Amino acid sequence: MIPAVLVLAAALGYPLTWQVITSLQEFGLAQQFGQPPEFVGLQNYIQLLTDSYTWAVVARSLIFCLVCAGATMAVGIALALLMKRVTKVIRNILQIALLLAWAMPVVAAMTVWIWLFDWRRSIVNWLLTQAGLDFQGYNWLAAPLTFYLVAAIIVIWMSVPFVAFSVYAGLTQVSDEVVEAAQLDGATGWQRLIHIMLPMIRPVLAIVMLLQVIWDLRVFTQIRILQDVGSVPSETNLLGTYIHQLGTGSGDFGMSSAVSIFMLVLTLSISWFYVRRMIREDGAA
């Protein structure tokens, strides 16, 4: 495994080292044209931690991440249970549909979603208007709350297939005899799910939840494309788009790197509970 580990360490280590060094420097447009960067120590981090806007972005990112991850897990588990109960034909149709949604390129999927919520010719607005609600010409992306609602729907839709397939694979390993014995003992379907099936696939749930938290915290493409369509970036930035705005948009790569390192530390802090639990369970096994 040593050659693979060395390649992985080099591929990940160089950019991370560059980020750490740059976060301690004043690295702007002048440095891109050859001027030596100025070492400023922890000044970028001090500015980051004392900036109220940065904390607003962090709060938005955490709330968005937890809502999306929780909803994705709930919908994914429900679909996995559905695949366990339906016939083979329906299960195959459902799996193909999930696979197509999962395999669709992000930009292509975003084009469809933008069309669905476009304020001029939105099919969503048309359906809501036909239902008696006044949504004619409503711009979903103009207000931050509805912007995040649309973004959450898209992110969850793109993430659910992975959760559904992973949980379904875990459920196939649950002994039918154990479940049937619990049913004979009078356990309801909800009790069998909570006290037997989910505890038996806890390692799968833990790693899937960990990955969802990491992915949803650093979401970028969906938010950035929706911002380009029609929203105020300063009101809808999450950490990923904020880093992009500081670096590529404003040319302040020193601050952008500092926010990137902060995001890395935040992700590790949130994930540490799950990682420690998985390590402990693995050691006990």
Percent of residues, the chain, with pLDDT higher than 90? 33
Residue 67 pLDDT: 94
DSSP 83-117: HHHS-HHHHHHHHHHHHHHHHS-HHHHHHHHHHHH
Residue 251 pLDDT: 81
**Residue 38's beta-bridge partner residues?**
26
Residue pair 235/144 in contact by the 8 Å Cβ criterion:
yes
Query: pLDDT by residue (tens digit) across 225-256?
Result: 998 887 888 889 999 999 988 888 788 888 89
DSSP 144-201: HHHHHHHHHHHHHHHHHHHHHHHHHHHHTTS-HHHHHHHHHTT--HHHHIIIIIHHHT
Residue 70 pLDDT: 94
Report the relative pairing of strands 25-26 and 38-39 from DSSP bridges.
Answer: antiparallel
Residue 37 pLDDT: 81
Query: pLDDT by residue (tens digit) across 191-230?
Result: 888 888 888 888 888 889 988 998 999 899 999 999 888 7
**CA gap 167, 72 in Å, rounded:** 12
Query: pLDDT by residue (tens digit) across 56-93?
Result: 999 999 999 999 999 999 999 999 999 988 888 999 99
Which CATH code fits 62-238?
1.10.3720.10
Lowest mean pLDDT among 66-75, 118-127, 144-153: 118-127
- 148 Cβ partners below 8 Å, 6+ apart? 60, 64, 236
Percent of residues, the chain, with pLDDT higher than 70? 98
Confidence band of 138 (pLDDT split at 50, 70, 90): confident
Over residues 121-150, mean pLDDT: 87
- Whole-model pTM: value is 0.86
Q: In 10 A of CB 114, how many CB atoms? A: 19
Domain assignments of the chain as residue spans, ordered by start: 62-238
- 139: which DSSP letter? -
**Residue 39's beta-bridge partner residues?**
25
CA dist 56 → 106, 150, 217, 224, 241 (Å) = 27, 20, 14, 18, 13
Look up residue 245 and give its amino acid. Q
**CA gap 57, 266 in Å, rounded:** 13
**CA gap 241, 223 in Å, rounded:** 7
Residue pair 246/255 in contact by the 8 Å Cβ criterion:
yes
**CA gap 24, 26 in Å, rounded:** 7
Residue pair 210/271 in contact by the 8 Å Cβ criterion:
yes
- 28: which DSSP letter? S
